Chains A and B, each alone.
Chain A
Amino acid sequence: MSKAESTETTISEDGVIQSVSGPVVSARDLDARMNDVVYVGDEGLMGEVIEIEGDITTIQVYEETSGVAPGEPVENTGEPLSVDLGPGMLDAIYDGVQRPLDVLEGKMGSPYLDRGVDAPGIDLEKEWEFEPTVEVGDEVGRGDVVGVVEETVTIDHKVMVPPDALEEGETTEVTAVESGSFDVTETVAELANGTDVSMHQEWPVREARPSENKKTPRTPLVSGQRILDGLFPIAKGGTAAIPGPFGSGKTVTQHQLAKYADADIIVYVGCGERGNEMTEVIEDFPELEDPANGNPLMARTSLIANTSNMPVAARESCIYTGITIAEYYRDMGYDVALMADSTSRWAEAMREISSRLEEMPGEEGYPAYLAARLAQFYERAGYFENVNGTEGSVSAIGAVSPPGGDFSEPVTQNTLRIVKTFWALDADLAERRHFPSINWNESYSLYKDQLDPWFEDEVADDWSEKRQWAVDVLDEETELQEIVQLVGKDALPDDQQLTLEVARYLREAYLQQNAFHPVDTFCPPEKTYLMLTTIETFNDEAFKALEAGVPVEEIVDTEAAPRINRIGVQEDYEEYIEELKADISEELRSLY
């Protein structure tokens, strides 16, 4: 049930509360279907039907239930949990059931979240300048764009024929369409089959929006993070998991992606995480520039914040709210990236509700349908051909918070079975402040091969060879380190000592990236590539010197090479790198 409609209540059959236990309420005599939205108690707390047994209906309530007593009424809306879709979702911040938090603050007149206050997900009164893209007499099918609204400076919001207004393949004639100022509830186009198209649509969150078909993604979601773009890229329309123990930098990685990924739209879902982190996003994003066009970052961002202390049932739904919004922009032909931080909190919310329902638990108390739910969520990501013929994508990046940092737990394992990119965060790296602390031995990307052609066309022909070289050196280092642990570095032969030195530059200069440095925080793929070639230059020249008889100590002690560590912070990196390569060659050659 959409809140845009809640003013004109469509009561079907009322029930009476029978018992209350935390977020789970059971009601008697309620005529309801599964997943119907209901209003519970005298205060009208929003809830959703999750179990029906005889004449007892079980409801999960999205708000705090203190003080709610048996005997109070339950009112059914007869509709499933839906989101309001339309212009105004960008630059907005919602809770898990799409209530705008800024509007709630005003309505409640308090910095605390009160109960029983509701507000539509989009402003129903705000007027938008509608520009038609069809004329009277044009044939349109489902999902077709009838006009455009400038939603933010960055994004043109396309007003579409609702996908459920027509059958697949069916078309109908536009009988009226008008340009001008409208609010989202007003009709902007009329169709011959009787459909009135407005800027407002509703969609039930637990149902994927229809699409024509799913295609193999072949464009990378460029993140500006060296280790991701360089070694473990994700595709536009791809899926990725970031598991890691606390303090390993999941949230910083997610924030970096939200800031710098080259998607058109970002949907950021803060699911059961810290309030201050969401505040940071709210405060920072309006001031940060979109790297693509210099506009405020918020102009392409929709935030969903259901922090850990907000009601647990709304935490369960926030992931669905987020992905439905993402799908809606995908239908317009945009590339959308969705960050979910953290899917473990989502899984825990399912566990909590499940245990209150006294369901038979699966592994570690999680419900047996955990794997199915995770798969359903990630399957809603992808590179799609939309029903209106455009192409759009939803990339889903989920943080996972495994208890004790143990990746063998159910949420991590079930996620890894689905996602194709795995960025494993490592507490050891974080402890020595190696950030981003993504473990290069454990992580992988299954998109590498299908994305290489893009990098080879757009950046450099030998992109994949260079990457393989870096991976080989790092692998060799890992093996050598085991020996070093036993006998010390000096016991190794010279060439292996040199490999360690090269690998050190890879780790310290290339893999590490300072998210808090104004320049280093974003590294375009060209810079990522050039940095790698600089290290390779050092590698080649150093080995030549070694072959010529120069002792390894002298090679390591040269002055030019350490400047590799400063490439990251250079704004005019091309010049710096060129000079540096020349200096490295010259200095090393002068040794023999």
Chain B
Amino acid sequence: MKEYQTITEISGPLVYAEVDEAIGYDEIVEIETAQGETLRGQVLESSEGVVAIQVFEGTSGIDQNASVRFLGETMKMPVTEDLLGRVLDGSGRPIDDGPEIVPEERQDIVGAAINPYSREYPEEFIETGVSAIDGMNTLVRGQKLPIFSSSGQPHSQLAMQIARQASVPEEEEGDDEEGSEFAVIFGAMGITQEEANEFMQDFERTGALERSVVFMNLADDPAVERTVTPRMVLTTAEYLAFEKDYHVLVILTDMTNYCEALREIGAAREEVPGRRGYPGYMYTDLAQLYERAGRIQGREGSVTQIPILTMPGDDDTHPIPDLTGYITEGQIYVDPDLNSQGLQPPINVLPSLSRLMDDGIGEGLTREDHADVKDQMFAAYAEGEDLRDLVNIVGREALSELDNKYLDFADAFESEFVDQGFDQNRDIEETLSIGWDLLSMLPKDALNRIDEEFIEEYYREDDSEREVVEAAD
């Protein structure tokens, strides 16, 4: 391995060095500063005689006398089942004072694309215990379902609730799954120490840490490292899922910080920027992360992703949520208005969507009436929402009896169905049962999306049948 002291230019996170041998694209580099500090980087562009290196830890402390070593290989993640229970930094080094990690394998962090022919279509229901998700936007194993949130919203609590509850039915059913276990991999990118502590405390309080791997890149850690963290996370996830048969739930927070880091590198390289200064290849880059969710034929495990992103200005046409929405299989919206009304979790189901839902619900999976109930509730809630605007102008008295019922429905939907609290875990039966309570507020012939058979079976003719008695006003 040759050492060079040939740095010609240092600019932002980039270092340019002259070389006299062929250096591979994406290769890993170590830079030793005059103070004896070792920094790591990656080759971004390799030409004859000169390479551009992106330094993960930032370039501060590097001068033109620093020595550069090319390791001759692309970035690898040492993986082993023993990673479960460990806390690592954003580059995959342990920071929990635990024993040294003895890797079983070292895998390239830029995972190769899964052959679409080898995939297995996800259709196994994951019970998250959250009605707004299970009932209306069901999550399935192998799906990538992001949470679209904005600053100041309780998206972390929602993510923790899912991570905590999603595991429970899994362990109960453990037998017929031939020992497939559940694991959570948590990738933090640029979040504050405080947020990180909340997650850690929750992990420790619920004992979830022992089946989790935590990667921490905090707000004051180098931004460039953030471009590596999710790849470390997903490499570990793929290993546990497809080689060790775990059902892995990956939580990535916050994707916005990741994209900011991409933009920073793009700017430093003087690339032609795309929308709002983000690089033109951001779609491809994000796809290379999100598409690592899924199931593979003949393998037991699965990788399910819940990336969290805070939409700048709560605007979902911003490039980050926009490109994400085009890649992921749906999205869950956390709504500031519902949050200020005190709903927990403040999920707005109307713009939310789970694309894989239709194949993951129904007879044998959840319940035969699930799809119809969902469709009807969406329609009725949307109707009620529309009427709210009108009520502000003309008042309730000017509306028909049916319209008033829709208004009551919308109110009850929020207070009974959505607002369940971050600690309540509802099974799918309970969720659907509450759904029928609410739908029974409407006259039977308004339920035009539900099969008559199901109306016969589940419609509550009078209030006494209702399990939850609500007071809409």
Are the C-beta atoms of B111 and A112 separated by less than 8 Å? yes
- B48 (CB) vs chain A CBs: closest residue: A70
* Residues 381-425 of B contacting A (Cβ, < 8 Å): 382-383, 389-390, 393-394, 398-400, 403
- A21 (CB) vs chain B CBs: closest residue: B45
Are the C-beta atoms of B399 and A247 separated by less than 8 Å? no
Report if B288 contacts A (CB, 8 A). Answer: yes
Determine how close the nearest CB of chain B comes to the CB of A590; give it in whole angstroms. 19
Are the C-beta atoms of B113 and A67 separated by less than 8 Å? no
Are the C-beta atoms of B280 and A67 separated by less than 8 Å? no
**Which of B98-106, B114-122, B174-182, B198-206 contacts its partner?**
B114-122
Contact of B400 among A65, A486, A489, A516 (CB under 8 A): A489
Which residues of the partner chain A approach B275 to less than 8 Å between Cβ atoms?
Answer: 364-365, 403
Determine how close the nearest CB of chain B comes to the CB of A339; give it in whole angstroms. 16
**Which of A118-126, A305-313, A524-532, A540-548 contacts its partner?**
A305-313
Which residues of the partner chain A approach B193 to less than 8 Å between Cβ atoms?
Answer: none
Report if B448 contacts A (CB, 8 A). Answer: yes
Are the C-beta atoms of A348 and B283 separated by less than 8 Å? yes
Which residues of the partner chain B approach A432 to less than 8 Å between Cβ atoms?
Answer: 350, 378-379, 382-383
Which residues of the partner chain B approach A67 to less than 8 Å between Cβ atoms?
Answer: 24-27, 73-74
Report if B18 contacts A (CB, 8 A). Answer: no
Are the C-beta atoms of A351 and B280 separated by less than 8 Å? yes
CA of A22 to CA of B382 in the docked complex: distance in angstroms?
A: 46
CA of A195 to CA of B76 in the docked complex: distance in angstroms?
A: 54
Report if A66 contacts B (CB, 8 A). Answer: yes
Are the C-beta atoms of A105 and B117 separated by less than 8 Å? yes
CA of A145 to CA of B46 in the docked complex: distance in angstroms?
A: 52
Which residues of the partner chain B approach A69 to less than 8 Å between Cβ atoms?
Answer: 22-25, 27, 46
CA of A64 to CA of B272 in the docked complex: distance in angstroms?
A: 22
Are the C-beta atoms of A565 and B48 separated by less than 8 Å? no
Report if A93 contacts B (CB, 8 A). Answer: yes
Report if B327 contacts A (CB, 8 A). Answer: yes
- B358 (CB) vs chain A CBs: closest residue: A516
Are the C-beta atoms of B46 and A405 separated by less than 8 Å? no
Contact with B along A80-118 (1 / 0, CB 8 A): 000000000000010000000110110010011111000
Are the C-beta atoms of A490 and B399 separated by less than 8 Å? yes
* Residues 108-160 of B contacting A (Cβ, < 8 Å): 108, 110-122, 142-143
Contact with A along B301-323 (1 / 0, CB 8 A): 00000000000000011110011
A246-B326, A280-B121, A487-B394 as given contacts; A113 in contact with B378, CB under 8 Å: no
Report if A6 contacts B (CB, 8 A). Answer: no
Which residues of the partner chain B approach A309 to less than 8 Å between Cβ atoms?
Answer: 113-114, 284, 287-288, 290-292
A66-B25, A348-B280 as given contacts; A364 in contact with B112, CB under 8 Å: no
CA of A113 to CA of B292 in the docked complex: distance in angstroms?
A: 12
Which residues of the partner chain B approach A364 to less than 8 Å between Cβ atoms?
Answer: 274-275
Are the C-beta atoms of B46 and A70 separated by less than 8 Å? yes
Report if A433 contacts B (CB, 8 A). Answer: yes
Are the C-beta atoms of B330 and A113 separated by less than 8 Å? no
Are the C-beta atoms of B283 and A308 separated by less than 8 Å? yes
Are the C-beta atoms of A307 and B330 separated by less than 8 Å? no
A433-B378, A490-B400 as given contacts; A282 in contact with B117, CB under 8 Å: yes
Report if A451 contacts B (CB, 8 A). Answer: no
Report if A414 contacts B (CB, 8 A). Answer: no
Report if A456 contacts B (CB, 8 A). Answer: no
Which residues of the partner chain B approach A101 to less than 8 Å between Cβ atoms?
Answer: 115-117
* Residues 269-284 of B contacting A (Cβ, < 8 Å): 271-275, 280-281, 283-284
Are the C-beta atoms of B112 and A113 separated by less than 8 Å? yes
Number of interface residues of A (CB under 8 A): 76
Are the C-beta atoms of B121 and A283 separated by less than 8 Å? yes
Determine how close the nearest CB of chain A comes to the CB of B238; give it in whole angstroms. 9
Are the C-beta atoms of A112 and B25 separated by less than 8 Å? no
Report if B353 contacts A (CB, 8 A). Answer: yes
Which residues of the partner chain B approach A292 to less than 8 Å between Cβ atoms?
Answer: none
Are the C-beta atoms of B398 and A490 separated by less than 8 Å? yes
Determine how close the nearest CB of chain A comes to the CB of B453; give it in whole angstroms. 12
Determine how close the nearest CB of chain A comes to the CB of B293; give it in whole angstroms. 8
Contact of A279 among B74, B113, B116 (CB under 8 A): B116
Report if A193 contacts B (CB, 8 A). Answer: no
Are the C-beta atoms of A403 and B322 separated by less than 8 Å? yes
Which residues of the partner chain A approach B63 to less than 8 Å between Cβ atoms?
Answer: none
Determine how close the nearest CB of chain A comes to the CB of B190; give it in whole angstroms. 23
**Which of A173-181, A204-212, A270-278 contacts its partner?**
A270-278
Contact with B along A320-355 (1 / 0, CB 8 A): 000000000000000000000000010010011001
Which residues of the partner chain B approach A310 to less than 8 Å between Cβ atoms?
Answer: 113
Which residues of the partner chain A approach B399 to less than 8 Å between Cβ atoms?
Answer: 488, 490
Are the C-beta atoms of A485 and B382 separated by less than 8 Å? no
Contact of A66 among B24, B47, B274, B280 (CB under 8 A): B24
CA of A484 to CA of B327 in the docked complex: distance in angstroms?
A: 38
CA of A485 to CA of B242 in the docked complex: distance in angstroms?
A: 54
Which residues of the partner chain A approach B337 to less than 8 Å between Cβ atoms?
Answer: none
Contact of B120 among A18, A279, A406 (CB under 8 A): A279
Report if A20 contacts B (CB, 8 A). Answer: yes
A113-B114, A406-B317, A433-B379 as given contacts; A365 in contact with B119, CB under 8 Å: no
CA of A21 to CA of B51 in the docked complex: distance in angstroms?
A: 10
CA of A274 to CA of B329 in the docked complex: distance in angstroms?
A: 8
Are the C-beta atoms of B317 and A275 separated by less than 8 Å? no
Are the C-beta atoms of B326 and A401 separated by less than 8 Å? yes
Contact of B294 among A108, A114, A276 (CB under 8 A): A276
CA of A67 to CA of B445 in the docked complex: distance in angstroms?
A: 65
Are the C-beta atoms of A355 and B45 separated by less than 8 Å? no
* Residues 338-370 of B contacting A (Cβ, < 8 Å): 350-351, 353, 355-356, 358-359
Which residues of the partner chain A approach B355 to less than 8 Å between Cβ atoms?
Answer: 247
Report if A431 contacts B (CB, 8 A). Answer: yes
Are the C-beta atoms of A365 and B356 separated by less than 8 Å? no
Which residues of the partner chain A approach B284 to less than 8 Å between Cβ atoms?
Answer: 308-309, 312, 348, 352
Which residues of the partner chain B approach A307 to less than 8 Å between Cβ atoms?
Answer: 113, 116, 287, 291
Are the C-beta atoms of B120 and A114 separated by less than 8 Å? no
Are the C-beta atoms of B22 and A71 separated by less than 8 Å? yes
- A315 (CB) vs chain B CBs: closest residue: B284
Are the C-beta atoms of B283 and A345 separated by less than 8 Å? yes
Report if A194 contacts B (CB, 8 A). Answer: no
- A434 (CB) vs chain B CBs: closest residue: B379
Determine how close the nearest CB of chain B comes to the CB of A29; give it in whole angstroms. 12
Report if A368 contacts B (CB, 8 A). Answer: no
Report if A72 contacts B (CB, 8 A). Answer: yes
Which residues of the partner chain B approach A355 to less than 8 Å between Cβ atoms?
Answer: 271-272, 274, 280-281
Which residues of the partner chain B approach A490 to less than 8 Å between Cβ atoms?
Answer: 398-400
Contact of A275 among B116, B242, B356, B379 (CB under 8 A): B116
CA of A283 to CA of B297 in the docked complex: distance in angstroms?
A: 11
Are the C-beta atoms of B273 and A365 separated by less than 8 Å? yes
The residue among A246, A275, A276, A283 with the most chain B CB atoms within 10 A of its own CB is: A276
Report if A562 contacts B (CB, 8 A). Answer: yes
Which residues of the partner chain A approach B74 to less than 8 Å between Cβ atoms?
Answer: 66-67
Determine how close the nearest CB of chain B comes to the CB of A445; give it in whole angstroms. 26
CA of A111 to CA of B389 in the docked complex: distance in angstroms?
A: 52
Report if B334 contacts A (CB, 8 A). Answer: no
CA of A481 to CA of B321 in the docked complex: distance in angstroms?
A: 32
Contact of A508 among B291, B294, B448 (CB under 8 A): B448
Report if B252 contacts A (CB, 8 A). Answer: no
Interface residues, chain A, with chain B CB atoms under 8 Å away: 18-22, 64-72, 93, 101-102, 104-105, 108, 111-115, 245-247, 270, 272, 274-276, 278-280, 282-283, 305, 307-310, 312, 345, 348, 351-352, 355, 358, 361, 364-365, 401, 403-406, 427, 430-433, 484-491, 508, 516, 559, 562, 565
- List 4 tightest A-B contacts by C-beta distance, closest first: A404-B317, A308-B287, A19-B47, A111-B118
- 30 residue pairs A–B, Cβ–Cβ below 8 Å: A19-B47, A21-B45, A66-B24, A67-B27, A69-B25, A70-B48, A93-B116, A101-B117, A111-B296, A113-B113, A113-B115, A246-B325, A247-B355, A274-B327, A276-B143, A309-B113, A358-B272, A364-B274, A365-B280, A401-B326, A404-B318, A431-B351, A433-B375, A433-B379, A487-B393, A487-B394, A488-B390, A489-B403, A490-B398, A516-B371
